[in-house]
Amino acid sequence: MILFVLVTGFIGLVPSWFLLKLFVEKAPRTLLAIELLARALAPASWLAVTSLVSNSDPNPPQAIAQLLGLFIAFVAIPRMVSGPVSW
């Protein structure tokens, strides 16, 4: 199964490379803005995930906990997964 995941991930790099190359040719300023935004979210993502595992405040207000969960699920983790693409 590990071999399958590695081979599938390696084969998946080809269309990703093609689409990024096409995006650079068609809209370089938009790609630059997306890259800068992804890099700016790196510290916020790191702080959000580390605050999740730390026990500094075991009972934060419910609204903050829900927003933090949404941020981690939809921003922090995808940003961490797409990290190799932005290098």
Mean of the pLDDT values across residues 35-55? Answer: 79
Average pLDDT, the chain: 81
Predicted TM-score (pTM) above 0.75: no
Q: What is the mean pLDDT of residues 6-34?
A: 86
pLDDT in the model for residue 83: 65
Rounded to whole angstroms, the Cα distance separating 77 from 71 reads 9
pLDDT of residue 48: 81
Pair 85, 39: CB distance under 8 Å: no
State the CB neighbour count (10 A cutoff) for residue 34.
Answer: 13
